[in-house]
Amino acid sequence: MKNLIERKLEELLSGVRPAVLFDAMRHAVMSGGKRVRPQICLAAAVAVGGKAEDAVCPACAIELLHSYTLVHDDLPSMDNDTERRGQPTVWTKFGEANAVLAGDALQSLAFRAAAQSPKNADRIVAELAEAGVGVVRGQVEDLDGDDVDFIYRHKTADLFIAAAVMGAYAGGGSEADVGRLREYALNLGLAFQFEDDLLDDDSPYSKAETERMVAEHTEAAVSALEGLSGDTSFLASLAERLMGRSE
Q: Where are the domains of the chain?
A: 2-242
Q: CB–CB of 217/192 below 8 Å?
A: no
Q: Which residues 6+ apart lie within 8 Å of 16 measured at CB?
A: 22
What integer pLDDT is reported at residue 143 of this predicted model? 85
Neighbour count for residue 166 (Cβ, 10 Å): 34
| Chain centroid to CA 65 | 8
- Would you state the pLDDT for residue 15? 79
Neighbours of 219 (CB within 10 A): 15
Rg value, the chain, Cα: 17
Q: What is the pLDDT of residue 247?
A: 62
- In eight-state DSSP terms, residue 230 is S
Tell me what pLDDT residue 246 has: 55
Superfamily of 2-242 according to CATH: Farnesyl Diphosphate Synthase (1.10.600.10)
Beta-strand ranges (E) seen in 7-161 are: 83-84, 87-88
Give CA–CA dist 63/35, Å, rounded: 7
Question: Could you tell me if 246 and 209 are in contact, meaning their C-beta atoms sit under 8 angstroms apart?
Answer: no
Among residues 68, 79, 188, 184, which one has the least CA distance to residue 128? Answer: 68
Q: Are 35 and 93 in contact (CB under 8 A)?
A: no
Cis peptide before 18 (omega within 30 of 0): yes
Q: Rounded to whole angstroms, how far apart are CA atoms 38 and 35?
A: 6
Can you tell me the distance from the alpha carbon of 121 to that of 118, in angstroms, rounded to the nearest whole number? Answer: 7
List Cα–Cα distances, 4 to 58, 59, 174, in angstroms: 12, 9, 24
Q: How far apart are CA 149 and CA 157, in angstroms?
A: 10
pLDDT tens over the chain, length 247 residues: 778 899 999 999 987 689 999 999 999 999 877 899 999 999 999 999 999 999 999 999 999 999 999 999 999 998 899 999 889 999 999 999 999 999 999 999 999 999 999 999 999 999 999 999 999 999 999 888 789 889 999 999 999 999 999 999 999 999 999 999 999 999 999 999 999 888 888 888 888 999 899 999 999 999 999 989 999 999 999 998 887 765 6
Write phi, then psi, for 246 (nearest 5 degrees): -100, -5
